[in-house]
Chains A and B, each alone.
Chain A
Amino acid sequence: MLSIIFATLTFLLGISIGNELSKKAMENVFYQYENIKTQIDSAMLSLQANLSSCDLENLNLLGEDLDRLGSYIDYLEKTDNIFKDETQIQLLKSNYFNLEFMHYLLANKIRSNCKYNYTIILFFYDDEKKCSSCRDQGYQLIHLKKRHPYEIYIYSFDIGYDLYFIKYWKRSFSIEKAPVIVIYPPDGSKIILKQFEGWQTLEKYINEHSTIHETS
């Protein structure tokens, strides 16, 4: 009996400490989010005030920070944890998509202001429905980014999220089913792909509309 009491107390102690630590992890990721948001806000304001109109290095650094934040959220989302707060994670993801959107606007603006030669890609996936082609398409885009780290900017959005710009894009690109890819090459054209495409095909599309050089 004594062992049951002690085991249960230890177990509950473990659970409450675990709960606190999980909350702390979530708070840390939120703090990271706030940090990046401040940086992106600042870049946006600077751009509006024409203070740093062609700062590509800062854009890349912000992009890397954003990628890292994405991987933290992905970890929180995919890790089994009895204290997982789905609402918090959804809120974090919505905020993350907002940041992606802001970075996309920055990238777009800087490209048009400074005549940079990079391609912007929007990738729409659906986490709600078990979409294996979304996963496969994601793989292709990850690899494409690794082949051309500074010549392509990729922004991924879950079409299940009820955010204004996602709804707008869904309407304007007539997205009914994921995956969908929208490519904005530097020549100002727009390519909408509504089926799975391998990285070679995507690279071909981009090459036809810009002057991307092989990195390997």
Chain B
Amino acid sequence: MINLMIILVATYIGLLYTFLNIFILLLKSKPSKITIHEYPTVSIIVPAYNEERNISNTLNSLVNLDYPKDKLEILVIDDGSTDNTLNIAKRFEKKYSFIKVYHKKNGGKASALNFGIRIAKGNFIVTMDSDSIVPPDALKKMLSLFNSEDVAIVIPSIQIFSPKNLVQKIQYIEYAYNNTLRAIFDRINSLYVAPGPFSIFRREFFNKCGLFDEQNITEDMEIAFRAHANGYRIRHAEEVVVYTDAPDTFKSLLRQRLRWYLGFIENYIRYRRKINSNAILSNFVMPSAILFILLPIILLTLNLYDIMKSWFLTYLYYKSINFDILPEIFYNLSNLKLFDPFMLKISLFYGGFWLTLLGITSFIIFFILLSYSLHIETQITLYHVFWALIYSSLYIIIYTIFWLYTINTKLFGREVRWGGLVWRNSLINKLINKK
């Protein structure tokens, strides 16, 4: 019965947040835009490490930006690539006067970005991942959102470019949903990440608050928290969709999420008191984010407990009959008791309460997801509905597994590496180092 009560509470919380999201989206107006009379100078920094497959597409999309080229500079920072990235970038440098290519020793994305920011001349600095594609009108639309001096960063919507397999198709729906969440967080001034693909920063922000933290595993989240800690605002240009590459295997996705989630834990711990000036972010959005990490873990643990219990009882049964399984097989096959439609009907009806609530909740989530987020980039089709259904049923499990793996790493992990980044900030390492 305790399980039941926890599921009831979780369902209610889910409903509450879903409606809250809908009302924020519908009732809170979008922050206003300004008309740009004189285009400011912009420096786009493209840190690149072994991106020979993608960098041409990225640079082509930047070249095609609808923006006065005399106000634009594109700085490609090759971060010690060992493939053909540098040569490809050099070809662009030869062709376009506003593209400049620099080569440095490998030091990680943040160090490449900082290298670029130091030499950049623009009043606005754009970070651009070298595996992303930007639409031509992105820069003009995004700059119009710098409507007051306290807006330090403007971020775009992000979507996966041409998802190919199950892992990418699930992420496609996840990214669409995250774009909706960004639109919601924008309305309550609570965006807490400035993602790599095409975030725009005011130059003064770096002058006042410093450059990217090169030791941080999620420098894009750290810089966003730092902006809030210094009283700045982050805005979201929801109609600008930047396409990016995404992990295509479960293993690579797990590694990416480990970095993101560890980064979330560490940056939140670091900034939780410093962001108090933003009451909604510190008192509502952050506790809610933590709640939605814990709830799936609790629910999955309860489910796992039930599954383990039923497996244990099955094991007890077979053990008590000395694993004499042949008669069991013959009996089940001869009586065809593997599937009973009436039992299915009973279990659907008797479990109908959950199905109804989950059905309604899912419908509402789809409503937001499909009618708001996807329309930005495309027409909603049955294809999207299908993948949204797959996403809803699989994602909670995948998400919980990733979080459990992250928590385990945070407690007991010794060392994790992502390219040039090394992470050793676990509890066990701290205890060992204390001794």
Chain B interface size, as a band, is 35 or more
Query: Which stretch, A4-12, A50-58, A115-123, A166-174, touches the partner chain B?
Result: A4-12
* B356 on the A face (CB < 8 A): yes
Cβ-defined contact, B345 with A149, below 8 A = no
Q: How far is the CB of B191 from chain A (nearest CB, A)?
A: 21
* A190 on the B face (CB < 8 A): no
Measuring CB to CB, which residues of chain A are less than 8 angstroms from any residue of chain B? 2-4, 6-7, 10-11, 13-15, 17-19, 21-22, 24-25, 28-29, 32, 64, 68, 71-72, 75-76, 79-83, 136, 139-140, 142-143, 146-147, 149, 198-199, 215-216
Contact A81/B19 with A147-B327, A215-B327 known, Cβ cut-off 8 Å:
no
Cβ-defined contact, A10 with B8, below 8 A = no
CA distance A139 to B316 in the complex (A): 9
Given contacts A18-B353, A68-B343, 5 further A-B contacts (CB under 8 A): A3-B22, A15-B353, A18-B356, A18-B357, A25-B345
CA distance A76 to B334 in the complex (A): 26
* B386 on the A face (CB < 8 A): no
Query: Which stretch, B93-101, B218-226, B318-326, touches the partner chain A?
Result: B318-326
Which A residues lie within 8 Å of B327 (CB)? 143, 146-147, 215-216
Query: Contact string, B295-327, partner A, CB cutoff 8 A, digits 1/0?
Result: 000000000000000000000110011001011
Residue of B3, B317, B353 most packed against chain A (CB within 10 A)? B353
Which A residues lie within 8 Å of B340 (CB)? 68, 71
Which A residues lie within 8 Å of B352 (CB)? 17-18, 21-22, 24-25
Give the 5 A-B residue pairs with the shortest CB-CB distance, closest first.
Answer: A18-B353, A21-B352, A25-B349, A14-B357, A146-B331
A143's partner among B8, B16, B328 (CB-CB below 8 A) is: B328
| Chain B contact surface mostly | helix
Count how many pairs of residues, one from A and one from B, have CB atoms less than 8 Å apart in the complex: 126
Cβ-defined contact, B1 with A136, below 8 A = no
Measuring CB to CB, which residues of chain B are less than 8 angstroms from any residue of chain A? 1, 3-4, 8, 11-12, 15-16, 18-20, 22-23, 316-317, 320-321, 324, 326-328, 330-331, 334-335, 340, 342-343, 345-354, 356-357, 360-361
Closest A residue to B350 by CB, please name it: A25
Which A residues lie within 8 Å of B316 (CB)? 136, 139
